[in-house]
Amino acid sequence: MHDRWGFNTKAIHGAGGTHALKAVSPPIYETTTFRYDTVEEGAALGVDRGEGYYYTRWGNPTTAALEERVALLEGGEMAIATGSGMGAISTVILGLLRTGDHLVAPRATYQAAHELFAQILPRYGIEATLIDTVDVEAYEAALRPQTRILYIETPNNPLLDITDIAGVVRLAHGHGALAVADNTFASPYNQNPLVLGADVVVHSATKYLGGHADVTAGIMVGRRDLLLALRPHFRIHGPVLDPFAAWLVLRGIKTLGLRMERHNANALTLARALAAHPKVERVHYPGLPEHPGHRIAHRQMRGFGGMLSVEVTGGIAAGARVVEALRTALLAVSLGSVETLVTHPASTTSVGIPAADRARAGIREGLIRVSVGIEDVEDLVDDFTHALQAA
């Protein structure tokens, strides 16, 4: 029956069924270990045979409920939840690649993923080509016989560039490689890369899935054979999600559809208002028809998401003045929560990158990244309009 359910019904009810004692809210199994009655039973559980649980780093019923829910919403066969988004990304990348392999990824990905590709992988004899544009042609030009993963992040950070997921998937599969997508910015409500053919999707569940800036979590979801191959790596690297944190993400997911509708609507309204402001040079939002990725985003996304970035006139000092003048939006890293969060990359998150490299990555000095929350949109428009006077 759940196959025919809409997104919100699936987000709330999962695949149906009841919890222990017919509890409406799932129980939190805050335990590290599980008793078994015979040594044979324990030995079987340790190698994933038989019914039941063994040790929370192996698996936990609360975490399993979250994994099933995300697999259902993303259209995946299996999922493994992790203690952070980077826990999921590191496990997928290090678990699927081996010495001699090659990966292609955009230069502009989430910073820690970028560091994994550029600094950690070479230490294991794995090469990464980081491409400056995110179109299929750029991926194709970077292919090598050893290419094993094409890594996608769309919309990406901080310019909201859009990649044609189905196009990169076709390229990857034609080359005998895998397509791995970070779907954090879009959320499973707005976009399902697995349905477009991707092999594995990763999320920072810290963002929209949790949704309230109160839990750090991650998840990988996709083909069962790949997830089963990743499971031993996950257990050895050990980025385990605490069961209570799993429960918080599961609770957040119940309102994901509602929240995303509001994030999508607020971001579009704010993007339009900012685009019309005299102190604004440019707004990057895939929902605006002038955004270069608008057509592809329209095809592959259900909504354009809650993330946008805006270039204010006056360079680095003006950007800093504007973010400090905001009264409703909060100056804080991270994204995807109910509060509007703002960062100014040139003076904070990307301050360690030389100005020339920032420019190469398209991070202009006056660029402000906004994770548009679900507040009343008039208050957000007022806040930004007022703050822009400080530019």
List the catalytic residues.
57, 110, 182, 207
Q: Residue 160 corresponds to which tokens in the numbers above?
A: 């909201």
Given the complex with ligand PLP, which of 185 and 189 has the nearer CB atom? Answer: 185
The answer to whether residues 104 and 175 touch, using CB atoms and an 8 Å cutoff, is no
Radius of gyration of the chain (CA): 21
The answer to whether residues 160 and 129 touch, using CB atoms and an 8 Å cutoff, is no
Strand partners, 330: 341
- Rounded to the nearest whole angstrom, what is the least distance from the CB of residue 303 to ligand PLP in the complex? 17
Q: Is the dihedral of CA 219, 222, 226, 229 positive or negative?
A: positive
- Rounded to the nearest whole angstrom, what is the least distance from the CB of residue 175 to ligand PLP in the complex? 25
- What residue ranges bind ligand PLP (CB under 6 A)? 84-86, 110, 153, 157, 182, 184-185, 204, 206, 216, 218, 334
Q: Residue 211 corresponds to which tokens in the numbers above?
A: 């949704």
Q: Is the dihedral of CA 346, 349, 354, 359 positive or negative?
A: negative
Given the complex with ligand PLP, which of 210 and 243 has the nearer CB atom? Answer: 210
Q: What is the DSSP string of 277-315?
A: -TTEEEEE-TTSTTSTTHHHHHHH-SS--SEEEEEETTH
- Rounded to the nearest whole angstrom, what is the least distance from the CB of residue 36 to ligand PLP in the complex? 33
At how many degrees (to 10) do helices 243-254 and 256-275 cross?
70
Number of other CB atoms surrounding residue 137 within 10 Å: 11
Given the complex with ligand PLP, which of 226 and 241 has the nearer CB atom? Answer: 241
Given the complex with ligand PLP, which of 213 and 280 has the nearer CB atom? Answer: 213
- Rounded to the nearest whole angstrom, what is the least distance from the CB of residue 186 to ligand PLP in the complex? 10
Given the complex with ligand PLP, which of 54 and 185 has the nearer CB atom? Answer: 185
